[in-house]
Amino acid sequence: MFYFILYLVSQLALVAAWVSGTLDPYQKRLQEILLDQMGETKVSFGLKKSLTAKKLIEDENLSKIQDQLGSQLGGIFGKGGMGQGLGSVLSKGL
């Protein structure tokens, strides 16, 4: 029972820190590390996510075209892409 109460108290403290914004710098740094490991920037990942997440038309061929377009546009701003520098600069502001 003691461990359960200790767990609840620690979870409440964690939620309070998250809501108050104390964890924001750590969350931002962890996000940058994970995106760096994937070879992405925030801009390239955002482009891929926004362009491939919602299908405009429920046709399989058009969905594939939309996915490829999102991946290629995001890849331009990712690591190794032509717009890597611009993607990095824009990502710093996000």
pLDDT in tens, 23-79: 888 888 888 888 888 888 887 888 778 777 777 777 777 778 877 777 777 777 777
> Is the Cβ–Cβ distance between 62 and 56 less than 8 Å?
yes
Q: Kindly give, in sequence order, each residue whose CB lies less than 8 Å from that of residue 39, ignoring residues fewer than 6 positions away.
A: 78, 79, 80
| Maximum alpha-carbon separation in the chain | 57
Residue in 50, 46, 39, 48 with CA at minimum distance from that of residue 84: 39
pTM higher than 0.85: no
Query: Looking at residue 7, what is its pLDDT?
Result: 94
pLDDT in tens, 23-38: 888 888 888 888 888 8
Query: Looking at residue 93, what is its pLDDT?
Result: 66
Q: At what angle do helices 84-92 and 60-77 cross, to 10 degrees?
A: 80
